[in-house]
Amino acid sequence: MREPEKDKEEQKEKKKFLIYPGAVVASVLSIVQARGGLLPQIAGIAVYILAGVFLVTACIFLVQDLKNGVIEKIVSTITRNPLGEKFFDDYTFRIILSTMPTFIINVAYTVYNGVLGVMHQSEWFITMAVYYSLLGIMRYHAVHTGRKISRMEDQSLVKKKELSVIKTEGILLLLLNLALSGVVLLTIVQDTAKRYSEIMVITIAAYTFYKIITSVINMIKVRKLQSPILITIRNISVADALVSVLTLQMTMLASFQGRSTMNINQMNAMTGMAACILISLLGISMIYYSYKRNKKES
């Protein structure tokens, strides 16, 4: 009689085997649709989304398959260094360190939108610059405080610092929501959504799905650890992913405007409102979490 674990492993391998050709087929279909526009508008969008999901999933499975080979050797070499060992063993340190590249991207987007806003006297670009600057400030504040806390030995002081951070970031998240509301409003009123080629839209969609998947994974892991700093970083990432979904929708509707019969302003307003409500709930939950923990500690 076969062991249940072996059967599960074989089923998992079969699913992986189907994902790789599925990613190839979905990618080919999306390229054909991008060049020829053979399918109706809704079907074409579905193909692009399917291709993004398959590609992201295939990349995750590919990394898992390589873990026992090349990646395992690389990890073994890196862990010989104390900093590398800490990176792999300490989840908090890993999350804080991996947030830095995203912070750099936020700074670049802030400068880019700020310069264009001043040059073209565009309210939309200036609002986008405010949004990305707030997002960058939040990430820097959380990471900087996390690094300072990691060197502290007084646990009572550590808890106070962590709760102070999550409260401050919750307030900033609500301010960020105001900037996002401005972006949605200006997009609807002034029709300022950027238009891209279909290949670029597919790339944006794949990156958006990557953000969503990583946010969900971090949400599950952080829930078990109950660290205020990690909850803060997680919520910032979730808010960023929600805005990316909204941006993707605006971009797709603007890029395929000539072929769509949908009410673009209505859809952008509905999705924008949903994103704003969810981000507001995240900010309020962080403030309430800080209040509840402070009350419990006192």
Q: Are 99 and 142 in contact (CB under 8 A)?
A: yes
Confidence band for 90, pLDDT divided at 50, 70 and 90: low
**Separation CA 133–CA 66 (nearest Å):** 38
CA neighbor of 170 nearest in space, from 247, 242, 228, 94: 228
**Separation CA 146–CA 229 (nearest Å):** 6
pLDDT given at position 1: 45
Q: Determine what percent of the chain is predicted with pLDDT higher than 70.
A: 75
**Separation CA 298–CA 282 (nearest Å):** 24
Q: Are 134 and 179 in contact (CB under 8 A)?
A: yes
Question: Mean pLDDT, to the nearest integer, of 12-23?
Answer: 69
Q: What is the DSSP letter of 67?
A: T
**Separation CA 197–CA 50 (nearest Å):** 18
Q: Are 166 and 289 in contact (CB under 8 A)?
A: yes
Judged against a pLDDT cut of 80, whether residue 87 lies above it is answered with no
**Separation CA 46–CA 60 (nearest Å):** 21
Report the mean per-residue pLDDT for the chain: 77
Q: Between these two residues, 79 and 128, which has the higher pLDDT value? A: 128
Judged against a pLDDT cut of 60, whether residue 216 lies above it is answered with yes
Q: Which helix H or strand E contains 267, and what residues bound it?
A: helix 264-297
3-state helix, strand, coil in the chain (%, to 5): 90, 0, 10
Q: What is the DSSP letter of 176?
A: H
pLDDT for 21-65, tens place per residue?
777 777 777 777 776 666 677 777 787 888 888 888 887 777 776
pLDDT given at position 284: 94
Confidence band for 85, pLDDT divided at 50, 70 and 90: low
pLDDT for 222-281, tens place per residue?
777 778 888 888 888 888 888 888 888 877 777 776 555 557 778 888 888 898 899 999
CA neighbor of 279 nearest in space, from 174, 150, 165: 174
Q: Where are the domains of the chain?
A: 4-78, 90-297
Question: What ranges make up the beta strands (E) of the chain?
Answer: none
Q: Which helix H or strand E contains 163, and what residues bound it?
A: helix 155-190
Single pTM value for the model:
0.65
Confidence band for 288, pLDDT divided at 50, 70 and 90: very high
pLDDT given at position 48: 80
